[in-house]
Amino acid sequence: MLEKIEHIGIAVKDLEKSEALFNALLNQTPYKREVVESESVQTVFYQSGPNKIELLQALAPESAIAKYIDKKGEGIHHIAFAVDDIVAELARLKDAGFQLIHETPKEGADGKLIAFLHPKDTNGVLIELCMDKNK
């Protein structure tokens, strides 16, 4: 089951500048910063009520975030839903005809197992499923 929007991922060019902006917007500092080597991204996370905001900056030109910004500019990159059983959800969505970017979950930031659905099946919106690793 897709339980709730867990976080919204925002692609940014200059994390330092964006952090200053979101610090002012949300009146707080990030609770976490983390490099995800497999994706070549630097991330920071803010808590906003029950949801989170993830800022993502590319660390290499071949990073998906760098490619996204080249094509579409900065902005909302993905919406992540919390799921109770990511393997079961991926199977359900595949059966329902959704194209999966990741057939099996992988390690994401913030202590999560994650997987993405292809945006061509979801009105151009990149959807992430995420599940707490120590669940």
Query: Which positions lie near Zn ion, rule CB under 5 A?
Result: 9, 54, 80, 128
Instruction: Please identify, using beta-carbon distances, which residue of 9 and 30 lies nearer to Zn ion.
Output: 9
Instruction: Please identify, using beta-carbon distances, which residue of 8 and 95 lies nearer to Zn ion.
Output: 8
H/E element, 35: strand 32-36
Q: Which residue is nearest to Zn ion (CB)?
A: 9
* Closest CB 103 distance from Zn ion, rounded Å: 18
Instruction: Please identify, using beta-carbon distances, which residue of 5 and 25 lies nearer to Zn ion.
Output: 5
* Closest CB 52 distance from Zn ion, rounded Å: 9
Q: What angle do CA 6, 11, 16 make, to 5 degrees?
A: 105
Enter the tokens of residue 85. 């059983």
* Closest CB 122 distance from Zn ion, rounded Å: 15
Enter the tokens of residue 39. 């994706």
Q: Which residues of 101-117 are buried (b: 16+ CB within 10 A; e: fewer)?
A: ebeebeebbbebbbbbb
